[in-house]
Amino acid sequence: MNTKDLLSISDLSPDDIGRLLSDAIELKARGWNSCLSGKTLALVFEKPSLRTRVSFELAMKQLGGEALYLSPAEVGLGKREPVADVARVLARFVDVIACRTFGHDTLVQLAKYADIPVINALSDLEHPCQALADILTIYEKKGELKGLNLAYIGDGNNCANSLLLACAMTGINCRLASPEGYLVDKAIFAKAKAYAEDSGAELYSGTDLKAALRGADVIYTDVWTSMGQEAETEKRLKDFAGFQVNAKLVSMADKDAIIMHPLPAHYGEEVDREILECPQSVIFDQAENRLHAQKAVLRDMLGGLEIGGRH
């Protein structure tokens, strides 16, 4: 990897992503092994989690290592104890930190003061581990990446930011349709455009649903109101009217389009329940792939080798 840390999907190169996908597929097929025996992961979480916590804990266990979960009350990042101190203490005990936090700056501080790898397990800016699992799922279902059309419908949030960058790096044409005021981060879009110049990906960010969905091989949506935005719920419900992924919107895409959602879903808001229950939905394969993508990242970061020097 380009750096010791994975704070953004852009900490990876396109070649890194390709290698991690290959490793994830291999690890998924092989199951349990002991390549990270003696290694320990600290999970420092400020937000609740189902998929992220379970997938990281099992990833370490299935690779022969250990995981230690630290709840918000136990650590109190930046409140009970300065982030810099937490980073330097944990670096004396464990081999890698995965942090799920509200502010991206917390991750930056952890990475600055810890001389061990730090992984972004979700921040307000990006969710790179989710993006890796998403790209892995798309490759499994479609057999390719370059030239595919992905339509992202909804809030230009942290998942959208990482997914856009990952698509641009792997040659997937990524079209994001959001209401005015909820478009993807401009700096992230500019960075994605630079990647797209090399990969040949076509990018769009705007309010036109038809433009995003036309010929889409993948339809992706996420919640309209993320954790920490609950006070905005009523306003967002009004602003996102018409952006629900339902049968009408799905009919605008390719007939073989797969439907994705990082979960948890707010049924009846960003997506109709029947859509995520239909044969085109791959949301639970997508959720499972969090485990396999993260196993690849952990093995890469910690240099896990088995007998004979083989990954």
Q: Is 158 annotated as a binding residue?
A: yes
Average pLDDT, the chain: 94
Backbone angles phi, psi at 301, to 5 degrees: -65, -40
Q: Is 127 annotated as a binding residue?
A: yes
> Omega into 264 within 30° of 0, i.e. cis?
yes
Domain locations in the chain? Answer: 9-126+290-302, 128-287
Pairwise CA distance, residues 95 & 80, whole Å: 23
Mean pLDDT value across residues 213-242? 90
Please report the pLDDT score of residue 307 as a whole number.
Answer: 36
Q: Is 60 helix (H, G, I), strand (E, B) or coil?
A: helix
Q: Is 222 annotated as a binding residue?
A: yes
Q: Is 260 annotated as a binding residue?
A: no
Pairwise CA distance, residues 50 & 44, whole Å: 14
C-alpha angle with apex 179: 177 to 224, nearest 5 degrees? 90
Please report the pLDDT score of residue 228 as a whole number.
Answer: 67
305 has pLDDT over 70: no
Q: Is 129 annotated as a binding residue?
A: yes
Q: Any residues with CB less than 8 A from the CB of 262 and at least 6 apart, and which?
A: 51, 127, 130, 134, 159, 222, 286
Identity (one letter) of the amino acid at 133?
A: A
Pairwise CA distance, residues 1 & 58, whole Å: 23
Please report the pLDDT score of residue 227 as a whole number.
Answer: 67
Q: Is 49 annotated as a binding residue?
A: no
* Coarse DSSP helix, strand, coil percentages of the chain, rounded to the nearest 5 percent: 45, 15, 40
pLDDT per position as a tens digit, 122-133:
999 999 999 999
What is the model's pTM? 0.95
Say which residue the tokens 């478009």 belong to: 183
CATH match for 9-126+290-302 among 3.40.190.10, 3.40.50.1370, 3.40.50.720, 3.40.640.10: 3.40.50.1370
Q: Is 227 annotated as a binding residue?
A: yes
20 has pLDDT over 90: yes
Q: Is the separation of the CB atoms in 173 and 167 below 8 Å?
A: yes
248 has pLDDT over 50: yes
β-strand pairing of 203-206 with 173-177: parallel
CATH number of the domain at 128-287, please? Answer: 3.40.50.1370
Q: Is 128 annotated as a binding residue?
A: yes
Pairwise CA distance, residues 170 & 217, whole Å: 15
pLDDT per position as a tens digit, 58-73:
999 999 999 999 988 8
Q: Is 46 helix (H, G, I), strand (E, B) or coil?
A: coil
pLDDT per position as a tens digit, 186-211:
999 999 999 999 999 999 999 999 99
Q: Is the separation of the CB atoms in 123 and 103 below 8 Å?
A: yes
pLDDT per position as a tens digit, 148-160:
999 999 999 999 9
76 has pLDDT over 90: no
